[in-house]
Structure 1
Amino acid sequence: MILKRAFLTAAIAAISMTASAAMAQTNLKWAHVYETSEPFHTESVWAAEEIEKRTEGRYHIDVFPASQLGKEADINQGLTLGTTDIIISGSSFAAREFAPIGVTYFPYTFRDADHLLAYTKSDIYKDLTAGYEEASGHHITATTYYGTRHTTSNRPIESCADMQGLKIRVPDVPAYLAMPRACGANTTPIAFAEVYLALQNGTVEAQENPLTTIEAKKFFEVQDYIVLTGHIVDHLNTVVSQTAWSQLSDEDKAIFTEVMQEAAARATAKIVESEAALVETFRERGLTVTEVDRSDFEKAVMEKVTFEEFGYRQADWEAIRAVE
């Protein structure tokens, strides 16, 4: 009887401990708009699993790719509404809360991926991300190189002037509009998930994105020309909502930050490697890949576009340009 009672007591204690552990686990939602084949997704999944491991199961994170929880504007709003806890999104959307951070999307700000990565370790990066957090409450933990944005079209483009009247899909973000509009293009904001169809049915005749995105979204199937305008060295931020971040202990904040920065570095390395091979891949598929004089496009932007019209500060832009 004593042994039976001891066994029952131990069993009840084990069940109680299991229930307590289950109750102690916090479930979080991590959302983005990218395809499951892209490093932004695969490394988010890795980070989610790694965080659960390093926090000894205190946090379980489900990753929702490909706009499952909404378009990019929706998931940004979700941080405040509580429908998302973690997102990957560009500073262009962060700029809706704190305009100055959007200066990183001003055309021809960054020289290349290395310059962007150097910026993420700079004082100006700390200032801009702190400004965003103060304005929104949400915390940027890491930044990933998204790729250098180029233009695709169904007509040849060799100079800025060749874009005159071009119907081009551009995200509904001020800085993205700067280069096409400076060159006389007609910009159309179409949701990312709908771009392929818009190109296919002729709603627009051009779009702009990094080579890796052109590959992942199969835009090369409905475009004839890839024009290496290189107008924006793009990036994505990993952002944790104010609610989720405030509930983390200092120890767990350090774990989240470390893992998310590792994931960003892993994704960045994959993007850089992929970009290097894609120009030749697209040529082999029969597309015309055109090198252009980027200074021609940059000159048009600097002559026709001001920082102030977007709410940017020229001093921030100059500080970024000075980063080595």
Structure 2
Amino acid sequence: MKVKFAILGATVAILASAAAAQAQTALKWAHVYETSEPFHTESVWAAEEINKRTDGRYKIDVFPASQLGKESDINQGLKLGTVDIIISGSSFASREYPPIGVTYFPYIFRDPSHLISYTKSDVFKRLAQGYEEASGNHITAVTYYGTRHTTANKPITKCADMQGLKIRVPDVPAYLAMPRACGANTTPIAFAEVYLALQNGTVEAQENPLTTIEAKKFFEVQKNIILSGHIVDHLNTVVSKSLWAKLSDEDKKIFSEVMAEAAERGTKIIEQREKELVAKFKEMGLSVTEVDKADFEKTVMEKVTFEEFGYKKEDWEAIRAVQ
């Protein structure tokens, strides 16, 4: 009899274990950033936290550094079902819903706090909803990526100083707006090749946040850091249409809360690093120059239209008005 009970108990345990394993959903979370960056470390934290708060029902593996493809690939992966969650910029979301790309228009945000206030505003909800209706995907959180500045072979203090400058800029319309308005010659070199291109003179300048300038060591081949601050950049945490539809209301709440908390943690890390880097670059003997941002902004507004990018002026005005 004892043997029967022991066998029965073992069978129940095996079945329970099998049921638990079957109940666990495996998910893929992808991005293009390095493992040392907060966009990765906080994604890993969020994946573990969601696992805890759902009693192990979701096992999320995070794939960094373009392991599952370039940014365009992982955005496409949301549709194809090859990824479930990604971190990606609104420039890619705008391929599905152009109006959301207005957040990349030069000087639309005053500073990181303005960006974060925007993410809590009605205009953000409206643009995020427009993106969701167009793509089916759901934006759960926004992380501050960094304010984009310029490095160059020469000092730059005003927009006209960029006339004829060969500058590497990502091949995204809104990123091109400021350099082209100032008369620069933009070149879309692959990100991995930027250091060499600066070193051998293929281009004379590039633009990126200070954290990227440090991480990619662009300061080794460019001694002038120009605080142009032309774009206060951000990344969205995006859940695929198919996954979002499967989640219960309770799980949607957990995913949203955890991802928003991870975004807040990442934002604080980036803000702190940026503050430290200005002083660090100066200590290294680099030229760190403030610019007349009003001059840059005035030129952009005179030479660039919202319509050419598919943006709406009323969205720009609503974002600018956010306090």
TM-score, normalised with respect to structure 2: 0.97
Q: In structure 2, what is the Cα distance between the partners aligned to 1:202 and 1:67?
A: 27
**2:64 maps to what in 1?**
65
Q: CA deviation at 1:310?
A: 0.3
Q: 2: CA distance between counterparts of 1:204 and 1:144?
A: 30
Alignment-derived partner of residue 225 in structure 1:
224
Aligned to 1:80: 79
Structural mapping, 1:150-165, within 5 Å: 150-165=149-164
**Other-structure match for 2:182:** 183
Superposed displacement of residue 17, structure 1: 1.1
SS at match of 2:164: coil
Q: Matches of 1:11 and 1:197 in 2, distance apart? A: 63
Deviation (angstroms), 1:92? 0.8
In the alignment, does 2:299 pair up with 1:291?
A: no
SS state at 1:238 partner: strand
Secondary structure of the corresponding residue to residue 231 of structure 2: strand
**Alignment match, 1:274:** 273
CA distance in 1, matches of 2:135, 2:196: 34
* Offset from partner CA, 1:44-81 (integer Å, 9 cap, x none): 01001101111111111111111111111111111111
If the length of structure 1 is used for normalisation, what is the TM-score? 0.97
- After TM superposition, the structure 1 = structure 2 runs for residues 189-200 of structure 1, keeping only pairs within 5 Å, are 189-200=188-199
Deviates more, 1:153-162 or 1:286-295: 153-162
- Percent identity for Structure 1 against Structure 2: 77
CA RMSD of aligned residues (A): 1.1
Mapped contact 1:170–1:176 kept (Cα < 8 A): yes
**Where do 1:21-60 residues align within 5 Å?**
21-60=20-59
Aligned to 1:244: 243
Q: Kindly tell me: are residues 194 and 53 of structure 1, through their superposed partners in 2, closer, same or farther at Cα, counting changes over 3 Å?
A: farther
- Counterpart Cα distance in 2 of 1:239 and 1:260: 10
Q: 1:31: how far off?
A: 1.0
Tell me the alpha carbon deviations over residues 145-194 of structure 1, each in whole angstroms, 9 at most, x when there is no partner.
11111011122222211111212111111111000000111112233333
Distance 1:286 1:240 in 2: 44
Equivalent-residue separation in structure 2 for 1:27 and 1:39 (angstroms): 23
Aligned to 2:202: 203
Q: How much has 1:18 moved relative to structure 2?
A: 0.9
Structure-2 separation of matches of 1:75 and 1:203: 30
Provide the C-alpha distance between the structure 2 equivalents of 1:26 and 1:190, rounded to a whole number of angstroms.
Answer: 39
Match in the other structure for 1:129: 128
> Which sections of structure 2, spanning at least 5 residues, go unmatched?
none
Q: Give me the whole-angstrom Cα distance separating, in 2, the residues matched to 1:198 and 1:71.
A: 21
Counterparts in 2 of 1:79 and 1:200: CA distance versus 1, 3 Å: farther
Q: Is contact 1:71-1:191 (8 Å) kept?
A: no
Does the aligned pair in 2 maintain the 1:38–1:216 contact within 8 Å? no
Between the aligned partners of 1:73 and 1:218, the Cα distance in structure 2 is: 25
The answer to whether the 8 Å contact 1:31/1:63 transfers is yes
> Does residue 114 of structure 1 match 2:113?
yes
Query: Secondary structure at 1:61's aligned position in 2?
Result: strand
> Helix, strand or coil for the counterpart of 1:239?
strand
Instruction: State the shift of 1:301 in Å.
Output: 0.2
SS at 1:87's partner residue?
strand
